[in-house]
Amino acid sequence: MSNLTIEDIRSNLQKAGYKLTPQREATVSILLDRDDEHLSAEEIYILVKQKAPEIGLATVYRTLEILTDLHLTHKVVFEDGLSRYDLQKNRGHHFHHHLECVECGKIEEIEEDLLDEVEQEIEQRFGFLVQDHQLTFQGICKKCQQNRKE
């Protein structure tokens, strides 16, 4: 569950010189309501249209890019090539790992940072300060494995 609230987002937008317009608020509310999903811009647009019929797809894209630039959302591209968005759940931390089922397309998040030692090794050996990383494991989820056995 995201620890961001609409007020946090409003405050961050204002600090960066943006307003939380009704269209942006409708987009953010979808992300807050569905914070356990990884939605594409098109999926978000379809859901936002139900709350704000006047909104355009370009507005949703611009809002998502602003939120991503401000590190309020996380943009990930999976095997299907679509950019998907979700709210940053751990502000100030960069871990964000995923399990992607290649059969049903389900995407699960791993909350723990499993790469601390790898990052330290990279910093020591290469003098490279890691600021972010993404890790996606592709495989077959439990449900699809069970369906295979039946």
Q: Which positions make up the binding site for Zn(2+)?
A: 101, 104, 141, 144
- Annotated binding residues, written as ranges, equal 94, 101, 104, 133, 141, 144
Pairwise CA distance, residues 130 & 116, whole Å: 10
Pairwise CA distance, residues 47 & 6, whole Å: 17
Q: Which residues contact 51 (CB under 8 A, 6 or more apart)?
A: 26, 29, 30
- Annotated binding residues for Fe cation, written as ranges, equal 94, 133
Two structure tokens written together for 99: 């399990």
SS3 75: strand
Two structure tokens written together for 37: 């999903």
